[in-house]
Structure 1
Amino acid sequence: MPDTKSSKLESKMDYWVQESVKDVPFDEQYEVIEELSSGPFGTNLKCKPRGQNTFCCVKILAKNKNRKVSLKETSHLLKLKHQNVTRIKEIFEDTDNIYIISELMIGGEVLERTVKMKPFTEREAVQILKQILNGIRYIHDEDLVHGNIKPENLVYEDLNDESSIKLTDIALYPILDNELLKHAIVSNIQYCAPEILRNEVGDPASDMWSLGAFAYLLLCGEEPFKGENNEELYKKVLKGYFNTDLPSYESLSMNAKDFISRLMEVDPKKRLNVYQALKNPWLLGQAARNDNLSNALDSMRVIVNKKKTQSFLNKQALRTKTGKESMAQKYLPKDVWLWLQKTTKYGTSLVDCVKSAVENPSSSVGLYAPDPECYDTFPEIFWPVISDYHKVDVYSLKSVHDFGDPNELPDFEEKYADSIISSRIRVGRTLEGFPMGPKLNRDTREQIKDEMVESFRNLQGELYGDFFELSELSYQERDHLIETHYLFTDADDKYLNSAGGYTDWPLNRGIFINRKRTFVVWINEEDHVRIISIQKGNNIKQVYARLVKGINTIEQTVKFVHHDKFGYLTFCPTNIGTGLRASVHVKLPKLAASGRLRELCESLDLQPRGVHGENSESEGGIFDISNKVRIGKSEFDLVNSMCLGIKTLLDEEFALQ
């Protein structure tokens, strides 16, 4: 009877790599720091030589018979040396695994840096593609195929502005003239050449198709093929039917479109080779446009954040709380079950966060944070929503906080006086140590009220005023305060109601008003606190100076939740960051009637709404216009931008009269 253990060992020994280190175990020479990624070609780990502080990357490949040829050819990677190709330092090997040690790329993926470029035009895209093509040319000149060109494998070497782009994760294919050529496999169908899907041999032309698909993404902000499922995608890739109806594609120069089309030619023989691509007039910069590709960047930003969110989830060590599996767990999709297992220390689950969206499919956002921990506990939903709504790169985002000097704000000219009815600026805040809306009970909501009432004792001079419990006001008094725009509406927002924002209404809610009725603080409405400065007319400098003075005074007594990335946290993620909304009630009847108001507001990063708050309608051509951006800029910058935007709207209004 044969010795199966010995036979198995001999089988693995057949796969020894030439020039690999075999006599010293990998783990004796290197210390593993953390997992970076994993995929069909192995697992990538961050590591460092023992006793040193220089970091590198190790790809671990398990030996098996299906990889016999490619593993024998792995040693050819050791000779690769080019500024646009990741350098392989050494290869370790034992009877079970191959360990490929390479440079550690710390500059991030090309797309991650691209979404931060201002401006980003076809000319910047050309410079990126040139570097990638130079790396491909070198690989092809070495009679190798990369075979795995996709966004994740195109990275910057370091964080310097002049950093080189490098191709990583070569798919370990054999030398081209080897009679044992294997079929190339690209792990993402969006970048997979038609001949690969037809189970044909991969060659340099397959790399060029993949580059064309990446060029499409780089210039258009979306991947080239659209389909409801893999079967639809396969059919479109096989026929070369990439999306030419995308507005960002239509806006490209004819030469850029031609470059993409020549790379994504279904027939490999008609496809541009690497030398032809490098000599293409568009790539030489002779025909590249200099128009900003802002729409492509917005779309690309969403893709980047989705990829990062998925990467974040893949690294989570989520485990069920019990070894016994219920039938519910058994039949729910695995990722859904894992998401439902996650809770904050306040007991908030993902269901609590999306409850309003489920009950109100017409919601524009539909996401709420029942406690401050939600922003980091559920990044798979909060981070991409924040990115999409605020148009920011959420992963590199840092909180910006600066009140600046109110006296440096612009004045509204006399010609605008009759059109601007009132001005107000408010901020939303959450007190430290408490959850938000639906996770508050009567006791905790009362504690918030009491802490804020205590802080009001410090408000003196023009800020001096009185606090009124909502439950103690008569309906007539409430209605009057609502009609005069001092008080929040009476629990009538269906979206907020579904989110649990009106629990125990109206108990422990209230309003502080100074004697001059120019400084207001709401307690326990949507957020713990809304601090508001308001007055008739258009003197925004006075309004802003009063707000800053009031906030600084209140913060002498209470502390608000602040996040290093997201700034001041609020119940709704649309208000995070500065939490500031600067607005005016302004007459724009002609502009509204023209149908251009919302479009113009969008271009100015302004948000129009009715005079009775969000989701209300305009009355008599009067609109509440405010800054849409809340995050990534300082408080001063937001107020200043709002003022300039209002001037632009009124100039358009006057031109129509």
Structure 2
Amino acid sequence: MFKLKCKLLLLLLFRGAFSKVILAESKTRQGLLVAIKCIDKKLVKGKEESMQNEINVLSRLRHPNIVRLIETFEDKSNYYLVMDLVTGGELFDRIVAKGSYSERDASNLIRQVLDAVNYLHMNDIVHRDIKPENLLYQSPDPDSKIMISDFGLSKSVESDVMATACGTPGYVAPEVLAQQPYGKAVDVWSIGVIAYILLCGYPPFYDENDINLFAQIMRGEYEFDSPYWDEISESAKDFISHLMCVDPDHRYTCKEALAHPWISGDTASKKDIYTSVSEKLKKLTVRQQWKKAYHAAAAVRMLQQLRISRDEAHVIDNRQKNPPHAVDDSQLTTDSSKSNNETDQLKIVESDVKLKSPAT
């Protein structure tokens, strides 16, 4: 056990059903920003052992395309997961902002995702919630790599099958919806759905009614519609068909997908498909806006704009004031309209927190 000294910048990056993610700055490494996921113990009561087992597994994962779990600690109210801060934004948003885009770009993106998920599978971990919102660029740099995040539904598998229904509608595999035992192949299906969207800008399955949507998925009812797919290579279509095979026994593994010519060879076209794809992606992302969290990138930009320095920031001594977990949720707002002063959203707590070293 040791102590990590950090400033908790109480600026909300994300709020979910069971947790919230807050921006933090290291005191020992000036300028180093991290994300801290705060999980309310009351909301996960009875699942402590399972949660700790998953944390122990995830803390050992080290892959260039996986958001790293750096440390974990807890107090009487919360579990805290200290993670790499990624600031490059979500996958679809970056594509829309690019200005040019080709099959080759899509192939490179999917290769990175496959490589990371293959690493997970080799370590007997199934992510179970691969979706565009969980694919983030590490930085705003044009050549930034893609990162897989949010392992809240990930699972270590001691056998080849699991049974718990989970995932995100539209990206979940048929066998999960059919309530059949499933395994690592569910992640491959999700990657296939993402690859499909990357090449046309719209999802392979869509219906406002979830029952109808699930029926489409379970039957594997998708098409390479004309004219949207007319300029897409046959190799790309073949690749997607192998990933989105309804029968998981005949579906590609990550290793097989990585060996496909569209990924490992030169069959991915270099023709610019930006105009057709970006217009549809814009519409798709607008439909999903209500689900989006406050991005780390926006938070970092806000901090830069405010030019908050060590001397200017209001520092509260943890030994004299409230500890980090004693935070009024009213401070953690992403709605700037609630205040005329942007700085009202930001408080800083300087603290010495005892951490448990993750298993190695």
TM-score by structure 1 length? 0.41
Aligned to 1:269: 249
Letter in 2 for 1:55: L
Aligned to 2:124: 143
Distance 1:83 1:150 in 2: 18
Aligned to 1:183: 164
Distance 1:82 1:41, change over 3 A: farther
> How far apart are residue 283 of structure 1 and its match?
1.5
Aligned to 2:259: 279
> How far apart are residue 128 of structure 1 and its match?
1.0
Distance 1:214 1:67, change over 3 A: farther
Matches within 5 A, 1:632-647: none
Letter in 1 for 2:284: I
> How far apart are residue 87 of structure 1 and its match?
1.0
Aligned to 2:232: 252
Aligned to 2:84: 103
Matches within 5 A, 1:452-491: none
Could you list the per-position Cα deviations for residues 290-348 of structure 1 after superposition, in whole angstroms to 9, with x for gaps in the alignment?
Answer: 3221211211122234444653799xxxxxxxxxxxxxxxxxxxxxxxxxxx9xxxxxx
Aligned to 1:165: 146
Aligned to 1:55: 33
> How far apart are residue 246 of structure 1 and its match?
5.7
On the 8 A contact 1:30/1:49 being kept in 2, the answer is yes
Distance 2:58 2:263 in 1: 29
**Which among 211, 214, 221 is matched to residue 201 of structure 2?**
221
> How far apart are residue 29 of structure 1 and its match?
4.5
Distance 1:178 1:74 in 2: 19
> How far apart are residue 193 of structure 1 and its match?
0.8
Aligned to 2:69: 88
Distance 1:34 1:202 in 2: 39
> How far apart are residue 202 of structure 1 and its match?
4.4
On the 8 A contact 2:72/2:80 being kept in 1, the answer is yes
> How far apart are residue 218 of structure 1 and its match?
0.7
Gaps (5+ residues) in structure 1? 1-20, 315-341, 343-657
State yes or no: 1:298 paired with 2:279: yes
On the 8 A contact 1:73/1:172 being kept in 2, the answer is no
Distance 1:110 1:214 in 2: 10
On the 8 A contact 1:70/1:174 being kept in 2, the answer is no
Aligned to 1:633: none
State yes or no: 1:207 paired with 2:184: no
Pick the structure with greater CA Rg.
1
On the 8 A contact 1:45/1:57 being kept in 2, the answer is yes
Letter in 2 for 1:302: K
> How far apart are residue 73 of structure 1 and its match?
2.3
Distance 1:208 1:265 in 2: 10
On the 8 A contact 2:202/2:284 being kept in 1, the answer is yes
Distance 1:177 1:218, change over 3 A: same
Helix, strand or coil for the counterpart of 1:132?
A: helix
On the 8 A contact 2:162/2:183 being kept in 1, the answer is no
> How far apart are residue 264 of structure 1 and its match?
0.9
> How far apart are residue 119 of structure 1 and its match?
2.6
Letter in 1 for 2:253: N
Matches within 5 A, 1:64-463: 64-66=45-47, 68-177=49-158, 183=164, 185-186=166-167, 188-245=168-225, 247-293=227-273, 294-308=275-289, 310-311=291-292
State the 4+ residue runs in structure 1 displaced beyond 4 angstroms.
Answer: 178-182
Distance 1:57 1:274 in 2: 29
On the 8 A contact 1:69/1:174 being kept in 2, the answer is no
Count of equivalent residues = 293
Matches within 5 A, 1:518-529: none
Distance 2:169 2:113 in 1: 20
> How far apart are residue 272 of structure 1 and its match?
0.6
Distance 1:246 1:60 in 2: 47
Distance 1:150 1:312 in 2: 14
> How far apart are residue 171 of structure 1 and its match?
2.9
Aligned to 2:355: none
On the 8 A contact 1:147/1:184 being kept in 2, the answer is no
Letter in 1 for 2:250: K
> How far apart are residue 278 of structure 1 and its match?
0.4
Matches within 5 A, 1:476-625: none
On the 8 A contact 2:86/2:138 being kept in 1, the answer is yes
Distance 2:269 2:79 in 1: 47
Letter in 2 for 1:58: I
Could you list the per-position Cα deviations for residues 362-410 of structure 1 after superposition, in whole angstroms to 9, with x for gaps in the alignment?
Answer: xxxxxxxxxxxxxxxxxxxxxxxxxxxxxxxxxxxxxxxxxxxxxxxxx
Gaps (5+ residues) in structure 2? 296-336, 338-360
On the 8 A contact 2:161/2:182 being kept in 1, the answer is no
Work out which structure has the larger RCO, using CA pairs closer than 8 Å and 6 or more positions apart in sequence.
2
Distance 1:207 1:180 in 2: 13
| CA RMSD, 1 decimal | 2.9
Q: 153-162 or 236-245, which moves further after superposition?
A: 236-245
On the 8 A contact 2:161/2:181 being kept in 1, the answer is no
